[in-house]
Amino acid sequence: MAPSPTSVFVSAPDGLRLHVREWGPRLDPRLPLVCLPGLTRTAEDFDVLAAALAARGRRVLALDYRGRGRSDYDSDPARYAIPVELADVSAVLTVREARPAVFLGSSRGGLIAMVLAAQEPAAIAGAILNDIGPVIEPKGLMRIKGYVGKLPAPRDYADGGEILRRLFGQQFPKVDKAGWEAAARRAWREDKAGLAPTYDVRIAQTLEAIGPDTPVPALWPQFDALAGMPVMAIRGANSDLLSPETVAAMRQRHPALEAIEVPDQGHTPLLAEDDIIGRIAAFIDRCDAARPAAPAS
């Protein structure tokens, strides 16, 4: 039987309640894996991966940012911002005693991991960047801006799966009907009015200033902060957010970078296939091996 997660709640620096899904033994001496989801995503995106790693004895934590999943919504949507979310992540690391850790960041989560490496390098013992890099392709960003907070309310989860298939099917051609319905169950939740998104739709306001002529600044200095540690870059072969050219530039700056391209998937790879899980597990094992030995007491 696959290990089940426990839910814990941590207070953010401003008192807002943050939800964390946690698997595996808290006292495992090995490095924990901290999973950070995408812009509107939740901790449940990592359930398959986390259960597989926990079955090997690895501790895994996955965070719902403020305004996502089971975390509290912020009264001020302007606070759905990376500096605030970074402070939230740091609070979780402290309360859950999960520092240092290997970080797996999908999309926005990878941006947060890079910024954390620049600001608190001792917290990171390795980084897995899932379909994200220092350069974000404007085409992909504009596609995301086009649907965040704007999807129709589905009648039921089967309808939600069809909505997602129409939106993302070109990037994920191998996902079947059951897979799309499972994705819908992560994207919407039941409330009194029917099905509602698992995120605060006001997050869309944070994208208003972004356009084809106002791209997101490159984060090469933050990526360079990962230079002294193991790094894995995962790219969906159909991704429109992370280009092969950016992955090549990342490898040039970090020659030891391990790059994986996932066929038939786009933004972001699902990380649910046995071979991908195996490579992630092996990478985290290498992070353990590369960790400096603790000084003798």
- Do the domain assignments include residue 79? yes
Tens of pLDDT, residue by residue over 94-122, are 999 999 999 999 999 999 999 999 999 99
- Do the domain assignments include residue 233? yes
**8 Å CB contact between 113 and 36:** yes
Looking at residue 293, its pLDDT comes to: 65
Looking at residue 205, its pLDDT comes to: 97
DSSP letter (8 states) at residue 61: E
Query: Pairing state of beta strands 101-106 and 33-36?
Result: parallel
Q: What is the pTM of this model?
A: 0.97
- Do the domain assignments include residue 170? no
Looking at residue 3, its pLDDT comes to: 78
Q: How far apart are CA 242 and CA 218, in angstroms?
A: 12
Q: How far apart are CA 145 and CA 168, in angstroms?
A: 14
DSSP 126-168: EEEEES--SS--HHHHHHHHHHTTTPPPPSSHHHHHHHHHHHH
- Do the domain assignments include residue 196? no
- Give how far Cα 133 sits from Cα of 16, 130, 136, 160, 240, Å: 29, 8, 7, 30, 12
Looking at residue 294, its pLDDT comes to: 57
**8 Å CB contact between 49 and 41:** no
- Do the domain assignments include residue 158? no
- Domain enclosing residue 58, as ranges: 6-148+218-290
- Do the domain assignments include residue 110? yes
Looking at residue 291, its pLDDT comes to: 86
Looking at residue 212, its pLDDT comes to: 83
Provide the domain count of the chain.
Answer: 1
- Do the domain assignments include residue 209? no
**Tokens of residue 218, six digits:** 């490159």
Looking at residue 1, its pLDDT comes to: 64
Residue with tokens 């814990």: 8
**In sequence order, what are the residues at sequence separation of 6 or more whose Cβ sits closer than 8 angstroms to the Cβ of residue 32?**
24, 58, 59, 60, 61, 98, 101, 102
Looking at residue 295, its pLDDT comes to: 52
- Do the domain assignments include residue 184? no
- Residue 145 forms beta bridges with which residues? none
**8 Å CB contact between 54 and 77:** no
**8 Å CB contact between 133 and 247:** yes
Q: How far apart are CA 93 and CA 88, in angstroms?
A: 9
CATH number of residue 15's parent domain: 3.40.50.1820
243's enclosing H/E stretch is: none
17's enclosing H/E stretch is: strand 17-23
Q: How far apart are CA 78 and CA 80, in angstroms?
A: 5
* pLDDT under 70: residue ranges of the chain: 1-2, 293-297
